[in-house]
Amino acid sequence: MNALTKTAFHFDGQTQVYHGKVRDVYTVKNDLLVMIVTDRISAFDVILPKGIPYKGQILNQIAAKSLDATSDIVANWKLASPDPMVSIGLRCEGFPVEMIVRGYLCGSAWRAYKNGVREICGVKIPDGMRENQRFPQPIITPTTKAEQGSHDEDISKEEILNQGLVSRKDYEQLEKYTLQLFERGSEIAAKRGLILVDTKYEFGKRDGKIYLIDEIHTPDSSRYFYAEGYEERFEKGEAQKQLSKEFVREWLMGNGFQGKEGQAIPEMTEEIVNGISERYIELFENITGEKFERADVNNVAERIEKNVSKFLNRIV
């Protein structure tokens, strides 16, 4: 199967291009962003050597649906998705922080808590909590938005304000939007028999107005539990059944790879690659409640160039 792992487009009016771990973002006339979600897959901050067919389409379509479903809460950057793997929208000046919101104690927060930490990003966490326990109220644990090649760092609200990274007025609006978006995402997830455990949101500004940018509520940016069996597993102290790309990390760890120096990435056979692709399709169908329609992958790059150029010709 064909997977798109590299792009080298030259769109009319193109002024810049950024190649991220998964997304390639083309700037047009310094005003629009063409975000192409490739089939690259990363884990432990490492891009794996093979792409996953349909992964880009899956992430792009989940994000597009989620942006549409939350546009009444806050304006977002997306104008259209002219191709299954592409969204085009407004270029905004991004805030230098990511808003991480957690409804449950798990992941890195649990690892810190287990080691005695009782305050994360300035948020106090009570004693006596257990792994995967629901917080009384969702908490916001922001991180800095790292430069390319760097790691995001935890930061508190007070540090953000003291360093002047975001004004108090804007930051309090970001907090409000974050909690409203998380509530909406949780409601949508509940209808699908899922629990939205934690996720991240990024915001930017354009002409003085705050916009929601990037992707939201995808399995790469969010963690989901299956609602069925959650209480029973929690009471027994068992691992929760997750809907995220955690299964990829588990496969890598099971084969001796955690992104550390000297470790070799295990061989990604055709069987492994196709298995991961099928799991991503399962994620799509569970999160959206819709059947996944595989796009034509005979010549993905040609298809994208044609669809994007056609859209840009219409609006630029």
Q: What is the 3-state secondary structure (H, E, C) of 94-146?
A: ECCEEEEEEEEECHHHHHHHHCCCCEECCEECCCCCCCCEEEEEEEECCEECC
* Strand ranges in the chain using DSSP code E only, listed in sequence order: 14-19, 23-28, 32-37, 42-43, 46-47, 78-83, 86-90, 93-94, 97-105, 119-120, 123-124, 133-140, 143-144, 194-206, 209-213, 222-226, 242-243
Residue (of 221, 213, 175) closest to 197 by Cα position: 221
For 68, other C-beta atoms within 10 Å of its C-beta total: 12
- Residue 55 makes CB contacts below 8 A (sequence gap 6+) with 3, 37, 39, 40, 41, 276, 277, 280
User: For 233, how many CA atoms within 13 A lie in the half-sphere containing its CB?
Assistant: 14
Q: What is the pLDDT of residues 228-287, one digit of tens each?
A: 999 999 999 999 998 878 789 889 999 999 999 999 999 999 999 999 999 999 999 999
Q: State residue 121's pLDDT score.
A: 96
| pLDDT (tens place) for every residue of the chain, 316 residues total | 689 999 999 999 999 999 999 999 999 999 999 999 999 999 888 999 999 999 999 999 999 999 999 999 999 999 999 999 999 999 999 999 999 999 999 988 999 999 999 999 999 999 999 999 999 999 999 999 866 555 679 999 999 999 999 999 999 999 999 999 999 999 999 999 999 999 999 999 999 999 999 999 998 899 999 999 999 999 999 999 988 787 898 899 999 999 999 999 999 999 999 999 999 999 999 999 999 999 999 999 999 999 999 999 998 7
Separation CA 80–CA 67 (nearest Å): 11
As a whole number, the mean pLDDT across the chain is 94
Task: Report domain extents, the chain.
Answer: 94-243
The residue written with tokens 């056979």 in the block is 269
Q: Into which CATH architecture does domain 94-243 fall? A: 2-Layer Sandwich (3.30)
